[in-house]
Amino acid sequence: MVKEPVELGTVQETLLIPLYGRARDARSRNPVLGDQKAVELVERIDYDFSTFTGPSLAGSVLRTAIFDGWVSRFLREHPAGTVVELGSGLNTRSDRLDNGRARWFDLDLPDSIALRRKFFDDTDRATMIAGSVLDVDWFDQVADAPGPYLFVSEAVLLYLPEHEVRTAVRQLGERFPGSWLSFDTGGRAMMGNQDRNPVFKTLSARMRWVCDDPASIEAWGLRLLDSRTFATPQPEVARGWPHRFRYGMPLLARLAPPLVNTYAMNLYTLR
Ligand SMILES: C[S@@+](CC[C@H](N)C(=O)[O-])C[C@H]1O[C@@H](n2cnc3c(N)ncnc32)[C@H](O)[C@@H]1O
């Protein structure tokens, strides 16, 4: 099999980390997500995934499970609504959660979308868009789809400087008020540790936006609906986790609080 080469920018290359995390999870005895498509993609991409090591691989799987929980909740409440992934990378959320009625958009930078297009196709309900979370020219395309809208930006905004995150939030709020927006935030303890994180050993990208308290950014035009850490996932999500995570994460949070509590997954409404 001829493998697909990877030609990605510095931050874009980080999309391979959660992909590999999900593939390893799927190959494990007791998986969280069981994402077989990730296994297939890792086999088809020409990249030395073995350079990615450490707890962030499992962390990216738990993070995805928490975001999946909110997308499932949104689709239960709005089965014909629209889910927009901002910085989708090679995620496979719609494969896991599609209900046969929802509309899906996957937005990412052009080189990431070019790679995504090698493995995924547009359908009548799923559309890939090459663009930036900082652009507004794709808003019309999304607004043509039926609301309500859930925007999901998983492990993306962290890589932007704070003023750009603020711009993205403001622009979305102006055009899609009342929509749900979910994204993760990292506090100082996590950000300051990146150079020691083995998953970044061979990558030069680094996360930039420090946010110690997800509620502190409500003044940007957000209302915090829910906030979770790996130790406090939604109960229905935790039920799907193997014991090592379900009981191990709360224990780790008690033994070493900054390790777990500094990283939050958050659900907001845009005001
Ligand atoms: C760590 S990956 C996460 C990918 C995906 N959300 C996941 O969880 O598998 C970061 C992603 O953010 C994307 N990204 C970075 N800057 C972006 C921007 N300005 N607009 C859209 N996507 C961006 C990258 O291309 C990459 O796919």
Residues 37-94: pLDDT tens digits? Answer: 999 999 999 999 999 999 999 999 999 999 999 999 999 999 999 999 999 999 999 9
Superfamily in which the 12-270 domain is placed by CATH: Vaccinia Virus protein VP39 (3.40.50.150)
108 touches ligand 1 (CB under 6 Å) = yes
β pairing state of 149-153 and 180-186: parallel
Token readout for 185 is: 């935030």
For the chain, percent of residues with pLDDT exceeding 90: 97
Residue ID of nearest Cα to ligand 1 atom 13: 87
- The CA-CA-CA angle for residues 225, 187, 33, to 5°, reads 65
Question: pTM to 2 decimals?
Answer: 0.97
Task: Give the domain ranges of the chain.
Answer: 12-270
Ligand 1 centroid distance, CA of 17 (Å): 11
Ligand 1 centroid distance, CA of 81 (Å): 23
CA distance linking residue 154 with residue 66, whole number of Å: 10
Give the residue, 258 or 13, on which the prediction is more confident.
Answer: 13
Ligand 1 centroid distance, CA of 29 (Å): 29
**Sequence-ordered strand ranges (E) for 172-239:** 180-186, 222-228
56 touches ligand 1 (CB under 6 Å) = no
pLDDT score of 1 more than 90: no
- Name all contacts of 121-129 with Cβ < 8 Å and 24+ positions apart: 125/98, 125/101, 126/94, 126/98, 128/88, 129/105
18 touches ligand 1 (CB under 6 Å) = yes
The residue count of the chain comes to 271
Ligand 1 centroid distance, CA of 187 (Å): 19
